[in-house]
Amino acid sequence: MNLLDSITSPADLKHLDVNELEELAGQIRQLLIEKVSATGGHLGPNLGVVELTIALHYVFDSPREPIIFDTSHQSYVHKILTGRAGMFDTLRKKGGLSGYTSRAESPHDFTESSHASVALSYADGLSKAKELAGRGEDRVVAVVGDGALTGGMCWEALNNIAAGERNVVIVVNDNGRSYSPTIGGFAKNLTRLRDQLAQIRMQRKYDEMMESGKRTLQSMGWVGERAFEALSALKEGVKTQVVPSEMFPELGMKYIGPVEGHDVKALLHALNYASTHAGPIIVHVATEKGHGFAPAVNHVADQMHSTGAIDPVTGEALSASAPGWTSVFSEELLAAARKRDDIVAITAAMAGPTGLTPFAEEFPARFFDVGIAEQHAVTSAAGLALGGLHPVVAIYSTFLNRGFDQLLMDVGLIKQPVTLVLDRSGVTGSDGASHNGVWDLAIASVVPGIRIAAPRDPARLREEFREAIAHETGPTVVRFPKGDVGADIEAIERTPSGVDVLFRPAGEPGPGDLDVLLVAVGSFAENAILAAENLAADGVRVTVVDPRWVIPIDPTLIEMAERADMVVVYEDGVVRGGVGSALGEALNAVEVDTPLRQLAFPDIFPEHASRSEILRDYGLDAESVEAQVREWTLAYRQ
**Which residues are catalytic, by number?**
289, 374, 402
Which residue from 319, 362, 316 is spatially nearest to 343, judged by alpha carbons? Answer: 362
Distances from the Cα of 141 to the Cαs of 57, 110, 172, 416, 595, in angstroms? Answer: 10, 11, 11, 42, 54
Q: Is 73 annotated as a binding residue?
A: yes
Q: Is 520 annotated as a binding residue?
A: no
Q: Is 112 annotated as a binding residue?
A: no
Q: Is 374 annotated as a binding residue?
A: yes
Q: Is 430 annotated as a binding residue?
A: no
Q: Is 160 annotated as a binding residue?
A: no
The 10 Å Cβ neighbour count of residue 447 is 20
Buried b (16+ CB within 10 A) or exposed e, 80-99: bbbbbbebbeebbbeebbbb
Which secondary-structure segment (H or E) carries 33?
helix 18-39
The dihedral built from the CA positions of residue 291, 296, 298 and 301, taken in this order, carries a sign that is: negative
Beta-strand runs (E) in 310-382: 343-347, 367-369
DSSP state of 607: P
Give residues with Cβ within 8 angstroms of 468, minimum separation 6: 419, 451, 453, 476, 477, 478
Residue 63, preceding bond cis, omega within 30 degrees?
yes
Provide DSSP, 391-416.
EEEEEEGGGGGGGHHIIIIIIITTT-
Longest dimension (CA), the chain: 103
Buried b (16+ CB within 10 A) or exposed e, 337-370: beeeebbbbbbbbbbbbbbbbbbbeebeebbbbb
Q: Is 390 annotated as a binding residue?
A: no
Q: Is 173 annotated as a binding residue?
A: no
Q: Is 471 annotated as a binding residue?
A: no
Q: Is 532 annotated as a binding residue?
A: no
CB 548 within 8 A of CB 455: yes
Helix axes 206-219, 264-276, angle to 10 degrees: 50
The Cα 208–Cα 214 span in angstroms is 10
Known binding residues: 73, 114-116, 146-148, 175, 293, 374
Residues at the binding site for thiamine diphosphate are 73, 114-116, 147-148, 175, 293, 374
Binding-site annotation, residues for Mg(2+): 146, 175
